[in-house]
Amino acid sequence: MIGALLALLIAFFLKRKKSDETVNVSILLLILTPWVSYLIAEGLELSGIVAILCNGIVLHIYASPNIPRMA
């Protein structure tokens, strides 16, 4: 649940972000989000691997369409 909630938050941010901002911010968020969800889950003594898997699935479904393409 932690990974999915964090991924939905990032997907919402990417959808609301202005398109004139750089692609690097989007890519950085997509790289750091699974790591942060792992750290939160491990800090709460839950399974970090399951958090990463849920995060990746939700990021693929909801955040991937909102990534700006490089020109």
Cα–Cα nearest to 30, from 19, 61, 71, 42: 61
The CA distance from 49 to 30, in Å, is 17
Res. 18 pLDDT band, cuts 50 70 90: low
12 has a pLDDT exceeding 80 = yes
Residues 6+ apart with CB under 8 A from 8: 58, 62
Res. 64 pLDDT band, cuts 50 70 90: confident
The CA distance from 71 to 58, in Å, is 26
Q: Whole-prediction pTM value?
A: 0.77
The CA distance from 13 to 33, in Å, is 12
Res. 69 pLDDT band, cuts 50 70 90: low
Tokens 């999915």: give the residue.
Answer: 4
